[in-house]
Amino acid sequence: MTYEQLSPADTPMTPQQYGVGARFTLAVYDSDYPEIILGALRSADATGLTVETGDISTFIGGTEQRILEYLCAVIAHASKSGAHLSASILLSRGCPGELLCELPAGVSALGAEPISLGQTGVRARAHWSLYPLLDGDSAGEHMSPIYAAVDQARADGIYSGSDHYATRLDGDLALVLRTVANAWIGVGKTVQHVVTHLTLSINSPSPITD
Amino acid sequence: MTYEQLSPADTPMTPQQYGVGARFTLAVYDSDYPEIILGALRSADATGLTVETGDISTFIGGTEQRILEYLCAVIAHASKSGAHLSASILLSRGCPGELLCELPAGVSALGAEPISLGQTGVRARAHWSLYPLLDGDSAGEHMSPIYAAVDQARADGIYSGSDHYATRLDGDLALVLRTVANAWIGVGKTVQHVVTHLTLSINSPSPITD
């Protein structure tokens, strides 16, 4: 499929056509990990989503709100086992397809409404990176949206510090996911291809490092 | 420190000044994870590196060759426990500092020699993404270096397929890390700020999905 086939100029693209989606790996540090992971995946409502689980990671396609609801539900369910876990999450928009991006550069950026999530009671700590993938003929530079996103994390009360290559977040799992997703959606209003990566740590026995 | 203090025009920057480094989270799906992770970290030679382990991830600063040797040694050691594990790895160059990038945009890109690693006998499968972070006044567009890197993975014999947002790699752990690192170094010859993310899966009992 080409962009022209997908989206005549007068028809807004769907999130799927625009490549809105996630890829995540849920790691459970416990010998009972198969039951915990499969139980968490089974517990979450995948209505309206495309979910494809492989041996390396799981793909989720759908709307921003539904993708984040699903991620939050899966991770919260696994966390309630009490096991230490980590999750690496990638959110992407503006470059559908697999190896080849099926949208040409310079398509109008497709924003979305901010998402909302109900609190989970699960404390998550995270390292977060945001990548606005500008091309040479795009306006702007890539650090300003990153600084703005970090300011928003401070305003949301979950900023915990800055480390090399990543911002540290600390708060309810739902707040962490909301801040990350809404920054990704927000930058996506002006930049076509935006990716964000998050590494979550939950129930860690390690001393917290600040 | 400012860029001017760090690097007069006639003094090449060190990898540390240029922000060459890694951040990784090693996840072990086994109730004996503390011993396996701490044993792996202890087993690897950290000579010449800055290694800072926190509760979310571990930072490694140093030269490209030494960073990759260390990562390969830690992960190979943990793999030999037989436990299923995953690792999320971020390699970054061209943007030192923490929240604020301490180099202005438009610094001459600092390349490096390709790295080499001895084979480990550990099979790794991975999802890989490469992000050349161009600014609006940079030449070029960001997808071409990604396509070129994937072509190199094919030539290296470890390309296993393309999924949404990531290229699938499959081969000896050392070959996977070498291909990823050398693509990151290669793009770094012309682009200042280059980040790559890799999610590795080792000893998975899940059926391999192609």
Report the amino acid identity of residue B185.
Answer: I
Using CA atoms, how far apart are residues A197 and A76, in angstroms rounded to an integer? Answer: 19
β-bridge pairing B21-28 and B58-61: antiparallel
pLDDT attached to residue A57: 97
Using CA atoms, how far apart are residues B181 and B152, in angstroms rounded to an integer? Answer: 12
Give me the residues paired with residue A167 across strands: A128, A162
Give just the sign of the alpha carbon dihedral A185, A191, A192, A197.
negative
**Residues of chain B found within 8 Å of residue A167, distances taken between Cβ atoms:** 99
**Residues of chain A found within 8 Å of residue B96, distances taken between Cβ atoms:** 164
* Cβ–Cβ < 8 Å for B27, B86: yes
Q: What predicted TM-score, i.e. pTM, was given to this entire model?
A: 0.94
pLDDT attached to residue B210: 67
- Do the Cβ atoms of B164 and A98 come within 8 Å? yes
* Cβ–Cβ < 8 Å for A114, A180: no
Measured CA distances, A41 to A75, A119, B157 (Å): 9, 19, 33
Sheet holding A58-61, edge to edge: A50-53, A58-61, A21-28, A85-93, A194-202, A123-132, A166-172, A159-163
Q: Residue A210 — very low, low, confident or very high, per pLDDT cuts 50/70/90? A: low
In chain B the first and final C-alpha atoms are separated, in Å, by: 48
Q: Which of A3, A26, A29 should be substituted to probe chain B, the one whose Cβ sees the most B Cβ atoms within 10 Å?
A: A29
Considering CB atoms only, which of B30, B88, B98 is closest to A88?
A: B88
pLDDT attached to residue B136: 81
Successive 10-residue mean pLDDT values, chain B, 210 residues: 47 89 98 97 97 96 98 98 98 90 86 95 97 84 89 96 96 98 94 95 88
- Plot region of B2 (φ>0 → left; ψ -120 to 50 → alpha; else → beta): beta
Using CA atoms, how far apart are residues B99 and A169, in angstroms rounded to an integer? Answer: 13
Report the amino acid identity of residue B110.
Answer: L
pLDDT attached to residue A10: 53
Asked whether the predicted pLDDT for residue A143 surpasses 90, the reply is no
CA distance A88 to chain B (A): 7
| ipTM, two decimals | 0.93
Alpha-carbon A89 to chain mean position:
6
Considering CB atoms only, which of B23, B95, B193 is closest to A127?
A: B23
Using CA atoms, how far apart are residues A109 and B194, in angstroms rounded to an integer? Answer: 23
Asked whether the predicted pLDDT for residue A7 surpasses 50, the reply is no
- Do the Cβ atoms of A23 and B166 come within 8 Å? yes
B207, closest residue in chain A (CA to CA): A55
A201, closest residue in chain B (CA to CA): B56
Using CA atoms, how far apart are residues B154 and B135, in angstroms rounded to an integer? Answer: 29
pLDDT attached to residue B10: 53
**Residues of chain B found within 8 Å of residue A30, distances taken between Cβ atoms:** 29-31, 33
Using CA atoms, how far apart are residues A76 and B176, in angstroms rounded to an integer? Answer: 32
Rounded to an integer, the average pLDDT of A110-118 is 94
At A29 the three-state DSSP class reads: coil
**Residues of chain B found within 8 Å of residue A136, distances taken between Cβ atoms:** 134, 136-141
Q: Among residues A68, A77, A47, which one has the least CA distance to residue A178?
A: A68
Q: Residue A1 — very low, low, confident or very high, per pLDDT cuts 50/70/90? A: very low
pLDDT attached to residue B2: 45
Domains of chain A: 13-100+109-159+168-202 (3.30.70.930)
For chain B, how many residues are written? 210
- Do the Cβ atoms of B165 and A23 come within 8 Å? yes
Which residue in the block uniquely carries the two structure tokens 């540290």? Answer: A168
Q: Residue A101 — very low, low, confident or very high, per pLDDT cuts 50/70/90? A: confident
Using CA atoms, how far apart are residues B44 and B41, in angstroms rounded to an integer? Answer: 6
Buried b (16+ CB within 10 A) or exposed e, B24-53: bbbbbbbbebeebbeebbeebebeebebee
Asked whether the predicted pLDDT for residue A166 surpasses 50, the reply is yes
Alpha-carbon A151 to chain mean position:
18
- Do the Cβ atoms of A98 and B27 come within 8 Å? no
Asked whether the predicted pLDDT for residue A23 surpasses 90, the reply is yes
Alpha-carbon dihedral of residues A64, B141, B68, B201, nearest 10 degrees? Answer: 30
